[in-house]
Structure 1
Amino acid sequence: MLFPKMKIQYILPYIFILFLTSCKKDNSTAQNEEEQNVKDTVLHITPLKIELNKLTTGYKNSKKNAIEHFYNKIWPKNDLSGGFLVAKNGQILFEKYGGLANRSTKEEITANTPIHIASVSKVLTAAVVLKLIDLDKLKLDQKVNTLLPEFPYEDITIQMLLNHRSGLPNYAYFADDRAIWDRSVLTNQDVLNLLAEHKFNLYFKPDKKFGYCNTNYAMLALVIEKVTHMNYRDAMKKIIFDPLEMKNTFVFNYDTDRQKVSLSYKGNNVQYGFDFLDAVYGDKNIYSTPRDLLKFDLATYSKKFLNPKLVKQVFKGYSYEHKGERNYGLGIRMHEWKTGEKLFYHNGWWHGNTSSYVTLKGDTVALISLSNKFSYKPYKIWKLSTQFGKYPIEPDKEDGAE
């Protein structure tokens, strides 16, 4: 007998303790198994390669001449400080690199020099979230607070973060208030903690309208960490960067990378210093190259990257409260013209870094421009779309930053 000659009142506490210990062990085991299951799924995402139709030499030469003419018009003094690339079917038609990654050391920018891509990072963050949805580890309509219990806004979903319809306030604004934050280095968890502590008023009722906000993607980075049981840097590397062989792409680490990365400069060549917002990731803080972003763009044409039903949800507009041609999908901006043409893109701006990623899905064309010296010029690359399709772009139309 387990408890020989003991009265029932003495036996019951032992049984209760054994029961609790067993439950705790079972729960811990289940949690560990789920964590390992997610990690195993992520680690077994295989490299994805896709090839589209080969271009003829004649086609490539004619387009190269037109693109080079455009480039020389935008950068007449060849003063590009970054990278510029145009490709069709994954094949580069024209690319250019120039300027300095570090003006003190005179390190030149080459095709392999990672540059801060600012808000173009959102496209890649969204891709990982969508990949997790595709793997049944997450749902678009899932409430954020089911994953981040501290998150104080009950009605906000993953989809609302992706398409900027949450109504969340911008962390850059409330963290700039010294009564709320002392301007020490801010992290994603700090942003969540401040939301939980202060329960700031939303800018508008969730899903009522579009409101571009970096806080959405700072929260999505925490969601990625929660679901994958990895930090955001590792999750991005394992799910996107490694499988697509984006060898010059990484997430900036504020503690270890400040002396290593390409630096950021004002238009007058004065260096931008790092500040207390430079540790927040998801909305920014990915460094990459035009060639690596081309690898990502090419992968989006593969059914193995995301299932077609989910892809349709990515590349559609969600905000039609106001008339106009601009809209936002799931991690991607778009122009939708009455004529039927659609153009997808995302721009970025952080300190002196400006970036533009344009993807013409109907024409399998990628237009990519990155700069580590402040300039609006990278945003003009979308006007090259008219070389590949009947996009009704006005020549004198202003280009927005983000």
Structure 2
Amino acid sequence: MKMILIKKTNILQLLSLILVLSSCNQKNKEGILSDNELPKDTLPHMEPPTKKLPKLTAQYINSKRNAIEHFYNKNWPNNSMNGSFLVAKNGQIIFEKYEGMANFRDERPITATTPLHLASVTKIITASAVLKLIDAKKISLDQKVNTILPNFPFPEVTVKMLLNHRSGMRNYAYFTDKKDGVWDRHDILSNKDIVNLMATKDIGLESRTGTRFAYCNTNYAVLALIIEKTTGLSYKKAMERMIFKPLGMNHTYVFDYEKDKDTAVTSYKGNKVEIGKDYLDAIYGDKNIYSTPRDLLKFDMARSNPGFLSPKLLKLVYTPFSNEHKGQKNYGLGIRMINWETGQNFYFHNGWWHGNTSSYITLPKEQLTIIALSNKFTTKTYQVKKLAPLFGDYPFKLSKDEKEE
């Protein structure tokens, strides 16, 4: 009987050891966990707003809707937009439109649930995740990047400099495009490849760190790696856990090159010629989130929530860091802005990748959200800023045709 008890004890101990080793092996060589869920309390996450904003009157909605519809019809006559468009105030949709094809070959239409490529509007979502990690003291704003990513080659660059584009790094799309052996463009480039190339191929800085603003996609590709290192999750899984799932963004996802390249919404030139994928299409953080205007409205409302960040950090988000010389156009922590001498401020981010163009406008003062997305190249996506004067004192001008008579 004693021998049997001893054997059972040994078996239990062996099983416990196997479980411990299995748990330890959930991380891959880069320290990224598998898809097994972490305990819910280990990651900071965005939350839907708890305070309800005043309900808009039917009269107010109708008056604004008519003006927006007139603007829309003048800019995209004969159903020519091929994309998604939404205007909302106080979280309430005043106007939305979905037109054209996600894929012209199989005539798959764009609807309210069709995720379109956000291009650089992705940056504001990446920045939001990083800011939540900073607020939770998982990392710090002024922390040197090489203390998080040991092989990062530029010792003076901080997390803050990545967020506000003052790192001085070169754009990965340029230094990997050279025909000097830096990268074989037949191979798909990854975020880790970018850092490894900068560390091993003598990829110098474009300008001295911290001396000037220079918009650069490399900054946000590196921020995605910081999210992975800090959370122990892939960027895709971290964004799901921290932002998409908590906010109910059910039609938003991070593009996975191998899994999604044949099923994601197709990108087109202005003449409907399809634009294929290339070696840069696997990079994430600076781009490669697909979403819908309704999901982005949920995201925008959560960012407008007083509990999004601590007051001190939130103030820095909307502080201009790009004004070496006094000017109106500036960049904060993950967001573009126009600052007029009148004290009025306009906050936004545009995007362009292949044939995808995007515009995200967030005006906290008016609780206004404007979103335009298109998968067929057009610069008209960026003209939606002209709608801001319908809601506040902004010096954008509608043309005579765009004004409602």
Shorter-chain TM range is 0.7 to 0.9
How far apart, in 1, do the equivalents of 2:317 and 2:41 lie?
23
Instruction: Give the 3-state SS of the residue equivalent to 1:243 in structure 2.
Output: helix
Residue 41 (structure 1) aligns with: 41
1:367 aligns with 2:370: yes
Instruction: Report if aligned partners of 2:115, 2:290 keep a CA contact under 8 Å in 1.
Output: yes
Amino acid at match of 2:305: S
Residue 9 (structure 1) aligns with: none
Amino acid at match of 2:144: K
1:333 aligns with 2:333: no
Residue 101 (structure 1) aligns with: 102
How far apart, in 2, do the equivalents of 1:205 and 1:310 lie?
26
1:376 aligns with 2:379: yes
Residue 14 (structure 2) aligns with: none
Instruction: Report if aligned partners of 1:120, 1:356 keep a CA contact under 8 Å in 2.
Output: yes
Residue 132 (structure 1) aligns with: 133
**Which deviations, in whole Å up to 9, do the C-alpha atoms of 1:242-262 show, x marking residues without a partner?**
111110000000001012111
1:329 deviates by 0.3
| Alpha-carbon distance change, 90 to 42 in structure 1, aligned in 2, over 3 angstroms | farther
Residue 182 (structure 1) aligns with: 184
How far apart, in 1, do the equivalents of 2:192 and 2:104 lie?
34
1:319 deviates by 1.7
Residue 90 (structure 2) aligns with: 89
1:388 aligns with 2:388: no
**Correspondence list, 1:245-260, <5 A:** 245-260=248-263
Residue 302 (structure 1) aligns with: 305
Instruction: Give the 3-state SS of the residue equivalent to 2:142 in structure 1.
Output: coil
How far apart, in 1, do the equivalents of 2:356 and 2:72 lie?
19
1:373 deviates by 0.2
Residue 220 (structure 2) aligns with: 217
Instruction: Report if aligned partners of 1:126, 1:331 keep a CA contact under 8 Å in 2.
Output: yes
Amino acid at match of 1:264: S
Amino acid at match of 2:250: K
Amino acid at match of 1:342: N
1:393 deviates by 2.1
Instruction: Give the 3-state SS of the residue equivalent to 1:358 in structure 2.
Output: strand
How far apart, in 2, do the equivalents of 1:273 and 1:319 lie?
34
Instruction: Give the 3-state SS of the residue equivalent to 1:255 in structure 2.
Output: helix
Instruction: Report if aligned partners of 1:111, 1:290 keep a CA contact under 8 Å in 2.
Output: yes
Instruction: Report if aligned partners of 1:150, 1:196 keep a CA contact under 8 Å in 2.
Output: yes
| Alpha-carbon distance change, 375 to 52 in structure 1, aligned in 2, over 3 angstroms | same
Structure 2 runs not aligned, ≥5 long: 1-20, 28-32, 400-405
- TM-score normalised by L of structure 2: 0.87
Instruction: Report if aligned partners of 1:38, 1:228 keep a CA contact under 8 Å in 2.
Output: no
How far apart, in 2, do the equivalents of 1:37 and 1:291 lie?
27
Instruction: Report if aligned partners of 1:47, 1:242 keep a CA contact under 8 Å in 2.
Output: no
| Alpha-carbon distance change, 252 to 78 in structure 1, aligned in 2, over 3 angstroms | same
Residue 5 (structure 1) aligns with: none
Amino acid at match of 1:180: V
Instruction: Give the 3-state SS of the residue equivalent to 1:242 in structure 2.
Output: helix
Residue 142 (structure 2) aligns with: 141
How far apart, in 1, do the equivalents of 2:46 and 2:341 lie?
40
Structure 1 runs not aligned, ≥5 long: 1-24, 397-402
How far apart, in 2, do the equivalents of 1:285 and 1:159 lie?
22
Instruction: Report if aligned partners of 1:337, 1:392 keep a CA contact under 8 Å in 2.
Output: no
Amino acid at match of 2:247: L
Choose the corresponding residue for 1:343, options 346, 357, 377: 346
Q: How many residues align?
A: 369
| Alpha-carbon distance change, 136 to 349 in structure 1, aligned in 2, over 3 angstroms | same
Choose the corresponding residue for 1:290, options 282, 290, 293: 293
1:194 aligns with 2:209: no
How far apart, in 2, do the equivalents of 1:379 and 1:44 lie?
33
- TM-score normalised by L of structure 1: 0.88
1:47 deviates by 4.8
1:162 deviates by 0.3
1:375 deviates by 0.3
1:43 deviates by 5.3
Choose the corresponding residue for 2:316, options 313, 318, 339: 313
Instruction: Report if aligned partners of 2:116, 2:373 keep a CA contact under 8 Å in 1.
Output: yes
Amino acid at match of 1:242: K
**Which deviations, in whole Å up to 9, do the C-alpha atoms of 1:327-350 show, x marking residues without a partner?**
000000000001111000000000
